[in-house]
Amino acid sequence: MNLAVLFWFYKSPEICANRLRLLKRYNPGLKIYGLFGGSPADAPDFQRQLGGYLDDFYVFDLPKDSHWKWYHGDRMIAHWYAARGHTLSWDTVFVAQWDMLVFDNLERQFPHLRKGELLLSGLRPVSEVDPWWWYVRPGSKERSDYEQFLSVVASHHGFKGAPLCCEFIVSCLPREFLAAYVDIPEPEVGFLEYKIPVYAQIFGTPFCTRHTQHPWWGDDPATQHACVLHRGLNSETHDVPMRVIEAHRAWPGGRRIFHPVFSEYPSSVVERLKRVVVEVRDDEVKRRWWRLHARMFGEN
């Protein structure tokens, strides 16, 4: 299988360079194709700073705002495939987001992935997340969007199965899937984290489920209070702690892909240890403050 990387980015060129250096270090033989989703006016500067790390640089130039690009990131990837990706050499692309850290050879991370298979972190039935997941929770605007999407796939494809969803963090997308996904009807109805799995069901695309990329769902009542070591892959809005990253990297069986990390990963061991010390100190201060607060105000 010809595995390649689709590096998806839109901001912070220095951090992107940090990510790309790591990808190159651990995957020297893989092609890395760039999908730039920031302002087209900024593209020349990004290409100047990052072009040396990339085997191709593509600019998504449709006039869409940042919320659209986040909610409909699948359409950006489909647009890349239609305009550029189909001309490049690959069987499957690993989507590396700019706020993701990768510390291993990707072929070693996905030993059971086969050509034509789709790999998605957190793949599960929507019925398991229906009561609490933001994008399908009853009574919300997002729920009405989800129900409209189900109506679209039922009317156009006769889909009546049990819909799947995922956390679109770690993903490996085969060429055959994207070739079909480019032309889906009413493409802006629904959210990518259930659209992609459901269309895989419709197309008959096989899923690769033998992998270790299992995310922490922050809203899942069953795992909300999981140990911080189990939160190395999530879709929250704050960094995976440095102590979590370093603990996993020190353990032979630990995680090697982390998300999200919005800051630069230091090459210096000393700098990384300093961050760990600061994190531990800050956490202890917070714990002491809340213990004091509870004693003063009689809270449990």
Q: Per-residue pLDDT for the chain (300 aa), expressed as one digit of tens each?
A: 999 999 999 999 999 999 999 999 999 999 999 999 999 999 999 999 999 999 999 999 999 999 999 999 999 999 999 999 999 999 999 999 999 999 999 999 999 999 999 999 999 999 999 999 999 999 888 999 999 999 999 999 999 999 999 999 999 999 999 999 999 999 999 999 999 999 999 999 999 999 999 999 999 999 999 999 999 999 999 999 999 999 999 999 999 999 999 999 999 999 999 999 888 886 755 565 556 445 656 655
| Encoded amino acid at 38, one letter | G
Q: What angle do CA 258, 1, 96 make, to 5 degrees?
A: 25
- Whole-number Cα distances in Å, 62 to 69, 94, 179: 10, 23, 20
SS3 content of the chain, % helix, strand, coil (to 5): 45, 15, 40
User: Whose CA is closest to 257, among 137, 106, 123?
Assistant: 106
Coil/strand/helix, residue 97: strand
- Domain 3-265, classified CATH 3.30.230, yes or no: no
Name 92's bridge partners.
3, 174
pLDDT at 141: 86
* Phi, psi dihedrals of residue 65, rounded to the nearest 5°: -85, 175
Instruction: Indicate the DSSP class of residue 125.
Output: E
**The two structure tokens encoding residue 39:** 């302002």
Could you tell me which residues are beta bridge partners of residue 234? 216
Domain ranges, ordered by start, for the chain: 3-265
Total number of residues shown for the chain: 300
CA 24 to CA 30: how far, in whole Å?
Answer: 8
Q: How far is CA 265 from CA 36, 126, 180, 236, 257, in A?
A: 21, 35, 37, 18, 13
pLDDT for the residue 293: 45
Note whether 166 and 208 are within 8 A (CB): no
